[in-house]
Structure 1
Amino acid sequence: MAKEKHINNTTLNNSPDIEASSKIDAIKQLIFGENMQAYESEFEAVKNDILSKKQELESLIDEVRNELLQNIDNLSTDINIRITDLENSFNDKADRLDEKKLDRKLFGEMLMNLGEKISK
């Protein structure tokens, strides 16, 4: 019997809370019903707009990233070509210097040979 009273008291205690809550919700609906629906639709529109803008920004970021990577690749290729051209130019000039350079020992031997030929 004590258990039945406890169960009934618990059910009765919860029941007024539920009724009060539902009454408050009903009053809120009466007072703010149209406004709440308008607010919810506005919030949903703003949320959708934000998601749309986020997708646009992500798309733009991907485009810029791809463009930057392409520019970096082009720049790298251009730099490699210029470095190769500079190396070739340097090697050509070094070869010309070797050709123009006067080897004193060789020049001395040539002069001695020329001198010997003249004296004969």
Structure 2
Amino acid sequence: MPSNKSTAKQRKLRHRLQVSQLTKRFRKVLSDVELFKKGKLETTPVKDFLGELEEEIKTPKRRLTLEELITKDYGERGTPERERIEAILEKDLAAQKRKEIRKTRNQTNNQPVIRKLQKFSI
């Protein structure tokens, strides 16, 4: 489960991305306004921009699943990049599990997590 700190960072990053996208679009509108003043555009760019924003606000956005996000960033399953990332994640999960086991057993990092079986001779 992500911590509140990482979730807050993600929200800030999403907000920055949204603001930068709006800034880029607004700059385009400003350049279109200049073209409109010169008579090179037929429609008012501000009305078009506001209409687009209104449509975006009205339409609900579909949230992506974790699998879709991973596929979007690292490719489909079976690709070398995806396999590399999954191997790293598996190692990290194993390390986290060992850490939890050590914590429950009150062990240090130097002590082995898996207790060695003693062989008994019959």
Q: Please, what TM-score do these two structures have when normalized by structure 1?
A: 0.31
As a proportion of its length, which structure holds more helix? 1
Q: Which is greater in Rg?
A: 1
* Higher RCO, 1 vs 2 (CA within 8 Å, ≥6 residues apart): 2
